[in-house]
Structure 1
Amino acid sequence: MNESVSRLDLLRFLERVQVGDLARTRQWIADEEQRQAEIAARHAPPPPPDWIVEQGIGVGRRIVAVHQGWCRMSGKRTSPITRDEALRLLAADSGMACQQCRPDTELGVL
């Protein structure tokens, strides 16, 4: 090793390199966040339907619950329905109303 360069000088050089690397990495992160924000702004998710039905598992997939579209308690097996369909289903069986979002109350079935 060259004796004219001290260990302290080498460590300071290393620090400058690492600071530069950190600045470059932070810029890459900022660029990626900006890119993702632009993509999200272009592809806003559609609004949820007003009413959904949750279907059971198996053959026939019978309807097990009626939810308001925003309800987080609904499962993965859901389908959108109209207000009239929701009213008809709840009039036939009030036990289908979700106990969390209370579509029967919102529809005035109670």
Structure 2
Amino acid sequence: MSELPPDLPRLRTLETWLVVSLDRVRQRIAEVETREAALRPVRVLPEGPGWVLSYLRVGGRPVVDSIHVGDCRMAGTHTKPISRDEARHALTADGIRACEICRPDSDLGILD
């Protein structure tokens, strides 16, 4: 690397030039990233079910446990996707309980 100027005015000039150059480089990087992002394919994940019916295993047989919002992690591994109408019916007419964490009854407009 070459020697830097010994006096303050030339050092300040050099500093200004470097700052301006760095700003131009960063602007160009942002432009290229934007262009490349626009060309990159977007992977759309499939939307999960709105509601799920959760089962417990009792004596090796499935027993209905509760209704959950589709992305509730409390639903467990034994689930069945259901429609909005099926979820409303299960909570009201069938007497199946709503998950106390995700509260599907609130999303469905069912009041206690």
* Matching residue of 2:82: 81
Aligned sequence identity (%): 39
Partner of 2:55: 55
In structure 1, the partner of 2:107 is 106
Q: CA RMSD in A?
A: 2.1
Displacement over 3 Å in runs of 4+? none
AA in 1 matched with 2:49: P
Q: CA deviation at 1:47?
A: 1.4
Structure with the higher helix share, 1 or 2? 1
Alpha-carbon deviation of 1:60?
A: 4.5
Q: Which has the higher strand share?
A: 2
Length-normalised TM-score, structure 1: 0.55
Tell me the distance in 2 between the aligned counterparts of 1:109 and 1:64. Answer: 18
Unaligned runs of 5+ in 1: 1-37
Aligned residues: 70
SS in 1 for 2:75: coil
